[in-house]
Chain A
Amino acid sequence: MNSMPEMLTWIIPALPLAAFLMLLLLMRPLKIKSNLNGYVSIAATAMSFFFSTWLLVNIVQTAETKFIPGFSWLSLEGAIDIQVGLIVDSLTAIMLVVVTLISLLVQIYSLGYMHGSKSLNRYFAFISLFTMAMLGLVMADNLLIMFMFWEIVGLCSYQLIGFWFHRPPAARAARKAFFITRIGDFGFLAAILLIFNATGTFNISEVHSLAASGVIAGTTITWACLGIFMGAMGKSAQFPLHTWLPDAMEGPTPVSALIHAATMVAAGVFLVGRMYPLFEHSEAALTTVAVIGAITALFAGTIALAMNDIKKVLAYSTISQLGFMMIALGLGSVAIAIFHLFTHAFFKALLFMGAGSVNHSTGTFDMRKMGGLARPMPWTCATFVIGSLSLAGIWPMAGFFSKEEILLSAFNNHPLLFVLAIIAAFLTALYIFRAVFMTFGGQVQSRFKPHESGKVMVIPMSLLAILAISAGYFNATGGFLKLLGDDHTHSWIYGIFGVLGHPLAWASLLIAGSGIFLAYAIYQRRWISSRKIARRFGFFYTIVFHKYWIDELYEKYLGNKLLNSGLFNLFNKFDSKVVDGTVDDVARLNLNSSKILRLVQNGNLQTYAMAFMIGVAALALMVILVN
């Protein structure tokens, strides 16, 4: 294929932006029919997808990093100069394709899922804006510009979670999501300040080369990396900033699939990957990334076991999988992390769409009210199972290959992390098949009349199902990882079948299989009563069911008791009683003293005359005494 003209790179984010502007500003004034709005954004995204693929093919062929210069956005002579430019390397190109593809499929899916909903204009507009910002985020060659897109992505997430703003939980979840990710952004911004202060530039490649040449080093780098990672923790919902993601499920399901499963939450992983040359110079930062990742993977996996809302299960699963990616990053491999991001994007988006499809037909997300949906919804069931197998890491699904790489890497580098990861993998298989069996197995509950969703929803799901199976094969020869810098090429036969020769692969398959079997035993066959288990492990169950009380800790104690009605209330009282009180007191003092002093003004002119004469005498005396 011909190499793509450089200027065309700009068109990739420009198209969704144009769609956004058109939807928001032109649809109503031009009286365009509102059912066309989805097609506007789908067309734009499709074109972007086309250009992204073209770009990726180019990159695969040439394997070079291109810097596309832009324009000066803000400059102040001798003090600051912010150049907007694009960086196009393999990392970017892969992300572009993932984002545009998922966005495209999700929008098509939305046509069916959101059909009949009000203000679809706003919905598609913000999806377009989100796509634009996400594309900008992965292409930016400048930390500050990246941060800008980072924030805009968060804003779109806020808007879309709160799409049904008239539902109080949705509105609250939107606020929570924006606020908690902003705590992470606090760290990111601090890191940017630190980096700018140390290097005087925002340009990512310049920062990398300065770090390589040792201009910034030591604690500066560690702090900068920790700051950046804090940003990543916020966006990628890593412990302890994870609480917003489950709540974000209040948003429309396609939004969850796009933003809260495949793309935006993976932006944290991307960010660490992008800034990896900095992390390389700080052992402490890398260890932190790995440890946080492992804790999150395990911790979210346990919570997912106890959730009854299918979307919540998927949300905690996402958190857990993002933890896996962080482990990979912390262990030193960007390539593996991005590989897992790549496969995860497909199967998790698929799972969310499946959940959406189920909801579309039953009107609920509560798995206790579902059951037996396999028969009435065959396509949904089949694709959901494929996604689940992929998530659980069963050969030959995509998830197997990427997860295997992570486990292998942990096994080679850090036994403790490996143990944590393998437990998390077991939990993954258990909770996802718990969801599968609760939803699709058993009997249909009588009050529902479930039916298969329309083609417009099934087709994107089927496409994703294909990808959930096949995405792993992109690395069959090690090519995917090689593209991202890891060099272990081998033949495709080895890539697909040879891995099974490794004992670790069998171990992990065994673990995953036992997870699935356990789920089958409990939720399908009911050999073991789930109630009994809950009672047996009562203590553990309570903890998990209450999500370790972290939400309560944050909202009730930290947020409300300590800060809002504690410290801030104190400030407020201080302000009105002490600061303003002092002012009022000074005024009152004046008023009161003048109440006394005004008695002097008795209205008798003679008294005034005398006072006047006293003054004259005093002045005269003064003059005399001075002379």
Chain B
Amino acid sequence: MAPGLEEYLILSALLFSIGLFGAITKRSAVVILICIEIMLVAVNIALVAFSRFITPVELTGQAFAVFVIVVAAAEVAVGLAIILTLYRQRHTIDTKKVDLLKW
């Protein structure tokens, strides 16, 4: 029996939570970015799964996934640029040491 929608969605949920956990707990900005990538992948899996099982002909979900990938790519580019700038100025990418948003 082929895996159904639920299996894919649960997989997506698991990946998402793992990414979330990482994004919250890691101190290294790069790792946080990596974890966000994982979360985006999880979302993509969910989107494609919906596309496969609910609109297999129209493929709307896949179209969304394309956009998610685009945005993810842009986000990584800017994110990394910020991280590098930060590193250049502060010589660290430890989020504990860069709390500029603090009151």
Residues of chain A whose beta carbon lies under 8 Å from any beta carbon of chain B: 598, 601-606, 609-610, 613
Contact = CB atoms under 8 A, between A and B. Distances in A.
B30 to A, nearest CB: 14
A606 B23 contact: yes
B32 A606 contact: yes
Nearest to B100: A603
B25 interface: yes
B22 to A, nearest CB: 10
A605 B20 contact: no
Contact of A603 (B23, B25, B32, B103): B103
A599 to B, nearest CB: 9
A613 B103 contact: no
Given A604-B99, A604-B102, A606-B32, 19 more contacts: A601-B101, A601-B102, A602-B102, A603-B99, A603-B101, A603-B102, A604-B95, A604-B96, A604-B101, A605-B95, A605-B101, A606-B23, A606-B24, A606-B25, A606-B95, A609-B23, A610-B24, A613-B20, A613-B24
Contacts of B95: 604-606
B75 to A, nearest CB: 14
A598 B101 CA distance: 12
Nearest to A608: B101
Interface of B: 20, 23-25, 32, 95-96, 99-103
A296 to B, nearest CB: 75
Contacts of A603: 99-103
A170 B52 CA distance: 102
Nearest to A603: B102
Nearest to A604: B99
Nearest to B102: A603
Contacts of B101: 601, 603-605
26 contacts: A598-B103, A601-B101, A601-B102, A601-B103, A602-B99, A602-B102, A603-B99, A603-B100, A603-B101, A603-B102, A603-B103, A604-B95, A604-B96, A604-B99, A604-B101, A604-B102, A605-B95, A605-B101, A606-B24, A606-B25, A606-B32, A606-B95, A609-B23, A609-B24, A613-B20, A613-B24
Contacts of B103: 598, 601, 603
Contacts of B100: 603
Contacts of A605: 95, 101
A598 B20 CA distance: 25
Contacts of B32: 606
A604 B24 CA distance: 10
B57 to A, nearest CB: 31
A613 B32 CA distance: 16
A613 B24 CA distance: 10
B92 to A, nearest CB: 14
A602 B24 CA distance: 14
A411 B99 CA distance: 102
Contacts of A602: 99, 102
A208 to B, nearest CB: 78
B53 to A, nearest CB: 22
Contacts of B24: 606, 609-610, 613
A605 B101 CA distance: 8
B11 to A, nearest CB: 19
Contacts of A606: 23-25, 32, 95
A604 B98 CA distance: 8
Contacts of A601: 101-103
A609 B99 CA distance: 14
A342 B20 CA distance: 105
A606 B24 CA distance: 5
Contacts of A609: 23-24
A602 B25 CA distance: 15
Contacts of B99: 602-604
Nearest to B20: A613
A377 to B, nearest CB: 89
A203 B103 CA distance: 73
A601 B101 CA distance: 8
Contacts of B96: 604
A601 B25 CA distance: 17
Report, nearest first, the 3 A-B pairs whose CB atoms are least far apart.
Answer: A603-B102, A603-B99, A603-B101
B14 to A, nearest CB: 16
Nearest to A607: B24
A282 B51 CA distance: 101
A133 to B, nearest CB: 68
Contacts of B20: 613
A613 B25 CA distance: 13
B9 to A, nearest CB: 15
A609 B96 CA distance: 14
B33 to A, nearest CB: 12
A91 B24 CA distance: 99
A171 B98 CA distance: 72
A601 B100 CA distance: 11
A610 to B, nearest CB: 5
Nearest to A610: B24
A613 B99 CA distance: 20
Contacts of B102: 601-604
